[in-house]
Structure 1
Amino acid sequence: MHLVHILLPLSDNAGKPLGRTLFRTVADELTEKFGGMTAHTRAPAEGLWKEGAGGASKDEIVIYEVMAEGLDEAWWAKYRKKLERRFKQERVIVRAQETRLL
C-alpha cells in the first residue's frame, strides 16, 4: 500500500488565485481512480524554496492524498504533467511513501 500526496498551489505563478473548479476536478479524478481521497484544505500550508541569489519564493498549498494498492509510476508521471499544465506550474510535487494499514 502507498500513500500518495499531491501538493497543489492555491495561486498560479503570477500570484493569481486558482479557481475552485480545478481543485474539484482533481478531487473527482482521484476519487474515481482510487475510490476516495483526502483533501487537507483547512489551513493552507506554506511551501518555501530557494531560487538562486534572489532569496526564497513561497506558495500557499493544499495537500490531496490517496491510498493506492500499487504504485504505477508511469501513470503518476503523466498525471503530474497534466496537473502542471492545469495549474500553470513549472513543477507540481507528487510524492509517495510505502505504508501499511493497522
Structure 2
Amino acid sequence: MSHHLIQILLPLFDNGGQPFPCSDYMRVRSELTERFGGLTAFTRAPAEGLWEENGETTRDDIVVFEVLTSELDPGWWAGYRRRLEACFRQDSIVIRAQATRLL
C-alpha cells in the first residue's frame, strides 16, 4: 500500500528575530494529530535552512513536522499552507510530499 510522507518546515523566528510562541506550534501539532492520527515533530535540534537572496545567503532555523497519509489532498494542503503562512508571517512555507512505502 502506498503512502505519502508530508513534511512541513516552520520557522522558529519571525523576520525581526523574535521567536514564535509555543502555542503556535502546539496548535499545528493538535490540528495535524486530529486530522491524520499522529505526527512526528523534529523540534529538539532545529534544522537550518539556507538560501540565496539578492546575492546574500539567508539563514533560518526551522522545525519539521511530518505526517503519514494514504490520501493526498493537494487542495486541503494548499489552504493549510496559506493559513500557516499567515500565522507565521511568511511569504512562503514549504510543505512537501513524497511517496513512501511502508516496510
Q: Report the TM-score, using the length of structure 2 for normalisation.
A: 0.96
CA RMSD of aligned residues (A): 0.6
Corresponding residue of 1:4: 6
**Count of aligned positions:** 101
In structure 2, the partner of 1:91 is 92
Distance 2:14 2:83 in 1: 15
Residue 31 of structure 1 pairs with residue 7 of structure 2: no
**SS class of match (1:99):** strand
Distance 1:13 1:84 in 2: 13
Q: Which runs of 4+ in 1 moved over 4 A?
A: none
Q: In the TM superposition, what whole-angstrom CA distance separates every residue of 1:32-84 from its partner, at most 9, and x where no partner exists?
A: 0000000001100110000022x111110000000011110000000000000
Structure 2: how far apart are the matches of 1:64 and 1:13? 21
Which one-letter code corresponds to 1:16 in the other structure?
Answer: Q
Q: For 2:98, what is the secondary structure of its paired residue? A: strand
Rounded Cα–Cα distance in structure 2 between residues aligned with 1:88 and 1:16: 12
In structure 2, stretches of 5+ residues that fail to align are none
